[in-house]
A and B are shown apart, each in its own frame.
Chain A
Amino acid sequence: MIRWPRRAAEEGGLPTLRTILARGHFRLVVLAVLLAAVSLTVGGAMLLRSYAQLNLQLAAKTLSYAVEPAVYFGDTEAVHEAIRSVDARETIQRIEVSGKADGLLVAWEPEAGRQDNAFEMWVSRLVWPSAVEMPIHGQSGDVIGKIKVFGSAHGLLSYSMMGVVVGLCCLGLTVLATRMLARKLEEEVVQPLVHVAEVAAAVRNEREFGRRIAPSSIAEVDRFSSDFNGLLAELEWWHKSFVSENQALAHMADHDTLTGLGNRALFERELGRAIERADATKQAFALLYIDIDHFKLINDTCGHAGGDRVLKEVASRLLAALRARDQAFRLGGDEFAVLVDAWGSEASPDHIRGRLLDAMAEPVALDEDEEIRILVSVGIASYPRDARDAQALVRCADQHMYTSKRRRNLRVI
């Protein structure tokens, strides 16, 4: 499995599909979360502010009700007590109660240590720019005094702090959940493409034309995959036919089409190789030159088809007489060559010559009722005894063959 990031690095620093998707998702998530956070914060702050205002008014009303008899009695201690009984520390930082004529009766503030700090004062002023003023009504409904309440952001701030913490936790969860979903989506989109890229790379680098892309669950990718698979199938077919044609051509280049034996070109290559091998292993090998006697005569009397028939027969008999590791070639016309590799005592070149001659003893059937007896001349040269290079070896084998032919022709004549 090829990992995507490494491939990305191989591809010259271009951004991967996954990075683009991830980046897009990340921006989307951040934007959505920010928008939600901002609208929630603004909405929440406005709601909180209006509730705080209402709350302060309610507190002022409650206080006004609680201190009313005390104000009527003119009992400042009782006013203090009534204020204490309401215990509005969380929402109120200062209360001023004044009677109708007496001026300021009571000014209440939380005891030292529980008073608002500078930040709370600042927020308080922001939330409640002015104090809430409430008249104190007596039993008959006439105003007997008034109460002034200054709001405190103390409770509001601790409540908001809690809200902020909870909100941040929720935002974190949202980001996490969205990231997970986005990752899953990326996986689903990117995985099939990674697979396609992997198959394409395998086809290109390892020539695995047999590879195919698995069907995908995404319609576009699936269509692409099937087209790609079709292309691959065509490519595979082309590749196969190209290879087999190449092989045929290569075979034709160094093989004789009539007999199927190697031709002169192959022979020269194999001879060079045999010399190298013999030099390396310090072993001897032999070159046999074979020529069909009076082949021209056979051609003239039996026609070229008969001549071809004879050549083919000679080739197959040669192969049958040789060991598996010996090689036979048709050099041209009626000339054949055999390379006899590293022989043992049981198969010396002379022994092989004998076997070849034996093989040729049988007449060749030209037709159903026509046979022809053939004779071959064989010249042997062995390396490195007779010659030290290929040309000399060939010449030597050739000479030996002609010597043998002349001797027999003389005898025949």
Chain B
Amino acid sequence: MLLRLLAAVVLLASPAAANVRATQAALPLEGGPDPYAIPVARTVASIIEYSRWPQDHPSIRLCMAGPAEHAERIAERPLTRSRAFMPLAIDTPAESLGQCDVLYIGRMGLDDQRRFTDAARDKPVLTIAENDPACRSQAMVCLLFEANGVSFRINIDAISRSHVRIDPRVLRLSVQGGAP
């Protein structure tokens, strides 16, 4: 509830900034075989850095659902407070229960994505969708791949339901609008 309020305040407070942000990519592309891999890793790691789970775990259990295209560098990112990523591949939504801190949803249909997000609802799981630019899958964070970089969209409704608390300052970094 508090988070929803905070998010609403943040959203209301910066309509002008939102317009500016909507046209610009956040993180620039890097070289290498997949130019999106490093910005994606950086974005995901930063969001995780500014997120709080009800219980602190020594490692962040990063669950990969479905085939992810740009997620291969995420687990390499360093995390503060001597935590580390613990990547886990899951196939069914039921597997996410109690095992995952972060659920990275790869390329799949909207209905499949919904099944994963439904399973993660009301749990302390941060959901990130790779293939949902309009953010209709009820994932909390939806990555946006633009020509010159990577940015993200957030689903305030999903964030407010979730038990994971994301720093409102991070929410301001997201591309606003677009979610139905």
Contact = CB atoms under 8 A, between A and B. Distances in A.
Interface stretch (A68-76, A217-225, A293-301, A342-350): A68-76
Nearest to B13: A85
Contacts of A138: 49, 80
A117 interface: no
Nearest to B24: A77
A78 B20 CA distance: 10
Interface of A: 65-66, 68-70, 72-75, 77-78, 81-82, 84-85, 138-140, 142
A81 B46 contact: no
A84 B81 contact: no
A66 B50 CA distance: 13
A298 B138 CA distance: 167
Given A85-B14, A139-B80, A140-B80, A69 B167 contact: yes
A73 B27 contact: yes
A82 B169 CA distance: 9
User: Chain A contact residues: over half helix, strand or loop, or mixed?
Assistant: helix
B50 A139 contact: yes
A139 B49 contact: yes
23 contacts: A66-B169, A68-B169, A69-B46, A69-B169, A72-B49, A72-B50, A73-B27, A73-B46, A73-B173, A75-B26, A77-B21, A77-B24, A77-B26, A78-B172, A78-B173, A81-B14, A81-B17, A81-B20, A81-B172, A82-B169, A138-B49, A138-B80, A139-B167
Contacts of A140: 80-81
Q: Number of contact residues on B: which range applies?
A: 20 to 34
Nearest to B52: A139
B46 A142 contact: no
A68 B13 CA distance: 18
A22 B26 CA distance: 75
Nearest to B171: A69
Contact of B27 (A68, A75, A81, A85): A75
Contacts of A81: 14, 17, 20-21, 172
B129 to A, nearest CB: 19
A274 to B, nearest CB: 123
Interface in B5-35: 13-14, 17, 20-21, 24, 26-27
B42 interface: yes
A221 to B, nearest CB: 75
B27 A74 contact: yes
A76 B21 CA distance: 12
Contacts of B167: 69, 139
Interface string B130-148: 0000000000000000000
